[in-house]
Structure 1
């Protein structure tokens, strides 16, 4: 092989290696930095940006500052402490709370059932069975609406002369006011003078 051929082979190999280096490092135009004139210029621009970035500041919060890892850890532990808020060790995690609720599901359902049997005072449309209503009235010594209606209907009215009362109710009313029945008195319109004169004849 001649010297010329050897030099040409060397030049070809050097050119190939230069292209490989260029391909591995990419084109300067693809850099995201403002200065794309060289890798050194781009690295210097990046270094300046890092140097000018706000330093760690544990005393403030904001988009331009950051906390140290110790400050972050402290804030997390403080938040956890506030969340637990002195709960016993057996109930200071969500998993322990879920397990406790599941283990006591029957007791909780019994409690809810018992609460449902209580007369509510915050609403006026609670649905109760007749027996539950009776128990509630008995417990607070109250009368039912029908008891009141029956009681009122059994009272002698003074605003009308057409009230319908049973014989027993009429007797009770007369007794309560010291009166006698109309049949006991008889016909108050009878002409007793005519009866007297008829007896004389």
Structure 2
């Protein structure tokens, strides 16, 4: 088996074990057994348990970010892009529950290297949402009423709410990605709406 394929199998197994058991409870023996390889081979390819965990965090963060970016079509209106990006986010987290658990539950508590990967992922997501909010305001003629700092704050709140809803959707198989999107948009869009409305023209000055 080519090395790249074998490494992918080991990472797949590691994500499942770390996601279900957490970092401290996870054993390299369990990962090797699930991957179908001898434990020394895991150490040979991916060195220590910490290195393996960081590799899992890096891969899962990249996969989630790629899924969100892939769900957004550049030519669509900003609101449509935001909805599609959120839908891609929820679809990915529901389809990859162990990967989401590694990112959301375990990575921040296990060392600076893994925490930095999650911070970088969140920064990218907040930046993407910020750009969409600013673009939507500009399209509606309300950009001058929405400052950069305010847009970032709105994006932070939206991403935080999305993370919480992903936990809810992951724990309840009856919740669909589309339902999670609708719930989030119903909650946040009314707050965004004033910034996405055209600025009314100033009334004419009365003649003296």
> Fold conserved (TM > 0.5)?
no
Task: Name the structure where helix makes up a greater proportion of residues.
Answer: 2
- TM-score band (shorter)? under 0.3
More relative contact order in 1 or in 2 (CA 8 Å, sep 6+)? 2
TM-score, normalised relative to structure 2: 0.18
Instruction: Give the number of the structure whose alpha-carbon radius of gyration is greater.
Output: 1
TM-score, normalised relative to structure 1: 0.19
